[in-house]
Structure 1
Amino acid sequence: MLNEFKTFIARGNVLDLAVGVVIGAAFTAIVTSMVDDIINPLIGLVAGGVDFSGLSFGLGDAQFMYGNFINAVIKFLIVAWVVFLLVKAVNRMMPKKVEAPAEPAGPTDNELLRDILVELKKK
């Protein structure tokens, strides 16, 4: 069982995933800082000094901090945009697949039926 685990953990996919998780965590810290320290103040400046993190409303004893949700959505959109740009760049660098030329199409059903009809008329 231990040998199977060693084989599993040594596969390239598992190592790639581990590296991706570590880099993703570090990237999340960068995006969080960018949103909290740069983007939200700019949006607040344009929107008249609105600080999203302070937006909330109360309902009974519950306090709903919907401003934090807005910050999370902004962070998500930034991460999604950056991932999109990375995938697009990687796809551009990958060699293009050369498709084999399509084989000529055979006769259609109508052509076959017409040929059969011509042969039957000859008999």
Structure 2
Amino acid sequence: MLKGFKDFILRGNVVDLAVGVVIGTAFTGLVGSLTKAFLEPLIRLLTLLIMGKDKIEKSVWSVRGVDFEYTLFVNGLVTFLLTAIALYFFVVMPLNKLAERRKKGVEPEPDAPSEEVLLLTDIRDALRARD
């Protein structure tokens, strides 16, 4: 039972998945900080320029007293896109290239038969020829 569990854990796919989850989680925090510190203020600035106002009181739209925080959605969308792009270029693409290299070398050329195998083949052929 433990051997089966060990084989399952040590499979390449499970290890790759675990590494991807850990890297993705760490990178999501980094991208979240980037979007909160730089991109969200940039979105607010662009909104100011588009709307032509001198300042924005809040980063929400209010409709009949209901607030819609659009910057939270844009922040989440940008975080997701940047995380997905980074994971693709830094994890998925290199692993795919590595898998392609492994596939090319999966079937090595067969080794030349040993002297014993050649001798046994000669004996077999001699016995067939005698009959």
TM-score when normalising by structure 2: 0.52
Q: Deviation at 1:31?
A: 0.4
- CA-CA distance at 1:48 after TM superposition: 1.8
Partner of 1:36: 36
| 2:60 partner amino acid | L
**Consecutive unaligned residues in structure 1, runs of 5 or more:** 96-123
Distance 1:37 1:59, change over 3 A: same
| CA positional deviation for 1:92 | 8.1
Please say if residues 56 and 67 of structure 1, whose CA atoms lie closer than 8 Å, have aligned partners that are also in contact.
no
CA distance in 2, matches of 1:11, 1:88: 17
Letter in 1 for 2:84: A
Relative contact order: is structure 1 or structure 2 higher (C-alpha 8 Å, sep ≥ 6)? 2
Alignment size in residue pairs: 95
Q: Relative to structure 1, is the Cα distance of residues 40 and 26 closer, same or farther in structure 2, using a 3 angstrom cutoff?
A: same
For the structure 1 residues 54 and 44, does the alpha-carbon distance in structure 2 shift closer, same or farther, using more than 3 Å as the test?
closer
CA contact under 8 A between 2:35 and 2:79: conserved in structure 1?
Answer: yes
Matched, 1:24 2:24: yes
Residues of 2 paired with 1:89 and 1:6: CA distance?
A: 28
- Following superposition, the deviation at residue 79 of structure 1 comes to 2.1
Pair 1:3–1:85, CA change in 2 (3 A): closer
- Cα deviation for residue 83 of structure 1 reads 3.8
Q: Distance in 2 between matches of 1:27 and 1:86?
A: 11
Q: How far apart are the structure 1 equivalents of 2:92 and 2:22?
A: 22
Percentage of pairs with the same residue: 41
Map 1:1-123 onto structure 2 (within 5 A). Answer: 1-48=1-48, 54-57=59-62, 64-86=68-90, 90=94
Instruction: Please tell me whether the aligned partners of residues 54 and 67 of structure 1 are also in contact (alpha carbons under 8 angstroms).
Output: yes
> For structure 2, which runs of at least 5 residues remain unmatched after alignment?
50-54, 102-131
Q: Which whole-Å CA distance do the structure 2 matches of 1:88 and 1:4 have between them?
A: 27
- Identify the structure with the greater helix proportion: 2
> C-alpha root-mean-square deviation of aligned residues, in Å?
3.6
| 1-structure distance, mates of 2:36, 2:15 | 32
Residue of structure 1 equivalent to 2:122: none
- State the alpha-carbon separation in 1 of the partners of residues 32 and 84 from structure 2: 13
- TM-score normalised by length of structure 1: 0.55
